[in-house]
Amino acid sequence: MTEPSRPGEFELIARYFAPIAGPGGLGLLDDAGLLRPGRGYEVVVTADALVAGVHFFPDDSPDAIGWKALAVNLSDLAAKGAKPEGFVLTLALPRGWTEGWLADFAGGLARMAEAAGCPLIGGDTVSTSGPLTLSITAFGTVPAGRMVKRSGAKPGDVVLVSGSIGDGALGLKVHGPDKPDWVATLGAEDRAFLADRYLHPQPRHALADALQRHASAAMDISDGLVGDLAKLLKASSAGAEIDLDAIPLSGPARAALMAAPALAELAWTGGDDYEILCTASEREYPALVAAAEGSMLLLTPIGRITAEAGVVTYRGKGGAHSFAQGSFSHF
């Protein structure tokens, strides 16, 4: 049986990716894209690679893969207080790819790009004998000197997180092929909510301006709250005291923890949340919380920065708590 013909590289780009491109993409007809930051602005750059079987299941919806690929980069820009300006995509397609798969992938990518105002400006498409692999580099802008770094936390600052924590890690269990017993105890709506939080992370770019104006340090939570807090504290040469009972959980996450209380540790360390972890001074944090509420987002205080570098105390109703492993690690 003859295999259906597939478009060549240039036809593929014109058909599926040129419609996502912004003016800086130059119609995707050139060797490079173009960014023009405004006078007095600096460019913030971030990159993430996603590999089938590592960052997503090979049979995941291509629409969700496209959405997530860009969303995880935009989450990094949001944590830096940066306005998205554009992105480049490198896509390594394995043997056996189909136009239907590519159309759906481009559709998810386009929806995220449109929602964030972050157009495609270039990239590369190749074939591979290995798994599907893609990498996105995203560009944002901030007023000169205003990027929110990890290294700005000071003793006495309030530690805050956006949204709810643990949904992504629990959603991975709900969505994956080897479902733990507790998944069956959840209602259909709770299962769908958690799976969607894993498949379609929501970058908190609405917080970017408020972070820029009020936060002393920030980063996004991709590898787990506990591990990512450790990274922020290392960069800031600081410690922290954290109230585990203050960490915000969604209704579906609470339902999962009711069924299996030991899941609390997974929620705090598992990753895939793409929420914002930030710090702000006692004077600035009320304005930061109010600005978040104005954007229909929740920022919850969960602790304080302390002076003893690298020392983190976690306390809850059960007393002090320690973690054997703070976050997901590739290595």
Q: What distance in Å separates the CA atoms of residue 64 and residue 199, rounded to the nearest whole number?
A: 6
Residue with tokens 């990518």: 109
- Binding region for substrate: 55, 272, 328
- Binding region for Mg(2+): 31, 46, 48, 76, 124, 220, 223
Alpha-carbon dihedral angle through residues 196, 140, 329, 179, given to the nearest 10 degrees: 10
CB 139 within 8 A of CB 44: yes
Distances (CA, A) of 262 to 152, 236, 254, 269, 306: 34, 31, 12, 12, 28
Distances (CA, A) of 261 to 142, 264, 304: 42, 6, 26
Closest CA to 223 of 149, 181, 155, 168: 168
* The amino acid at 31: D
Beta bridge partners of 21: 120
- Binding region for ATP: 123-124, 150, 222
Q: What distance in Å separates the CA atoms of residue 329 and residue 311, rounded to the nearest whole number?
A: 21
Write the DSSP string, 199-215.
HS----GGGHHHHHHH-
Strand pairing category for 158-162 and 83-94: unpaired
SS (H, E, C) 114-161: HHHCCCEEEEEEEEECCCCEEEEEEEEEEECCCCCCHHHCCCCCEEEE
- Binding region: 31, 46, 48, 55, 76, 123-124, 150, 220, 222-223, 272, 328
